[in-house]
Structure 1
C-alpha cells in the first residue's frame, strides 16, 4: 500500500482530531480546537492510505525566516513505516520553497528528528511569542520535558 501526501482541507478536521486524541490525552501533542485547525488549515500536510488519514504534521510559520514543525502524528499501527519521515521531508520542501531559513520543533522524539538533521538548541533560544501563544496551553507548562531542535535550510 502506498501513502499519499496531500494538503489538508476543512472537511479533514474531524478525522484529524480523532487521530490525535490519544497523544493529546497523553500530553504528547497540544490540543487544538476545530477553529484553530481551520485557521491554520493551509499549514497541515496529511498522509493518506486508501483515503484514510494515517498521519499529519503542520509547518507553522513564526517569522519570515523561521517556521516550526508541530502536531506530528502517525497512526500507531502505521509507525515505523517511514510515514513520519515522509511528512517531515514534505514540510521541509515547503519551507525551502517559501524561503524560510530555519525550522524548529519541540518534541519528545529527539532521536527521530536528529536522524533528519535537526540539532538540539536551548529552549531559551525559542521565540518568546511561541511560549506565550502555545506552550502556556500545555498541561505540562511551565515544567517542560520536550527537547527543542532546529534545522537550518
Structure 2
C-alpha cells in the first residue's frame, strides 16, 4: 500500500483518537481532547493508506515566532519501522522551514529516532516555561519525567 501524507481534517479526529489511545493510556503520548485537536487541526499531518486508513500522524505546534514542536507522533504498531514516522517528521520540518521557524523541539522517549533526523539533546531547563505549564503539567508522569528534550536548528 502507498502512504500519502496529508493535512488532517476535522472528520479525522475520531480515528486519530482511536489510533493514539493505547499510547496515551501507557503515558507515552500526552492526552489531547478532541476539542483541543479540533482547535489545532491545521497543525496535524496524517499518514494515510490508499484505503483511507490513518496509520500515523504528528503535529507541528508553534510556540513562538522562532520555535515549534513536533508532538503527538504516532505510527500504528504494525506499520512501524517502515519510514512512516520519519516521513511525518520530515514533512513537519519542511513546513516549519516554509513558515520561517528557526528551531523545532521534541520531547520524546525515542531519542535515537530524532537524533537520526538531526535533533540534538538539550537540557529540559531550556524548554520554554509556557510549554511546561500548558502541556507537561497534564502528564501522568509530571513532575518526574524521563522524556528527553531535543532540538533541531533549521
TM-score > 0.5, shorter chain as reference: yes
> TM-score, normalising length from structure 1?
1.00
Give the Cα–Cα distance (whole angstroms) in 1 for the partners of residues 2 and 14 of structure 2. Answer: 23
Give the Cα–Cα distance (whole angstroms) in 2 for the partners of residues 125 and 12 of structure 1. Answer: 34
Partner residue, 2:120: 119
4+ long deviations beyond 4 Å = none
Give the Cα–Cα distance (whole angstroms) in 2 for the partners of residues 30 and 49 of structure 1. Answer: 25
Per-residue deviation, residues 38-57 of structure 1 (Å, max 9, x unmatched) = 00000000000121000000
Give the Cα–Cα distance (whole angstroms) in 1 for the partners of residues 129 and 76 of structure 2. Answer: 31
Partner residue, 1:19: 19
Give the Cα–Cα distance (whole angstroms) in 2 for the partners of residues 128 and 45 of structure 1. Answer: 26
Partner residue, 1:47: 47
Q: Partner of 2:107: helix, strand, or coil?
A: strand
Per-residue deviation, residues 20-52 of structure 1 (Å, max 9, x unmatched) = 011001100001001000000000000001210
Q: Partner of 2:88: helix, strand, or coil?
A: helix
Partner residue, 1:140: 141
> TM-score, normalising length from structure 2?
0.99
How many residue pairs match? The answer is 153
Partner residue, 1:110: 111
Partner residue, 1:90: 91
- What are the ranges of 5 or more consecutive residues in structure 2 without an aligned counterpart? none
Per-residue deviation, residues 79-109 of structure 1 (Å, max 9, x unmatched) = 0000000000000000000000000000000
CA drift at 1:15: 0.1
CA drift at 1:2: 1.1
Task: Note the aligned Cα RMSD (angstroms).
Answer: 0.3
Partner residue, 1:7: 7
Partner residue, 1:129: 130
Q: Partner of 1:62: helix, strand, or coil?
A: strand
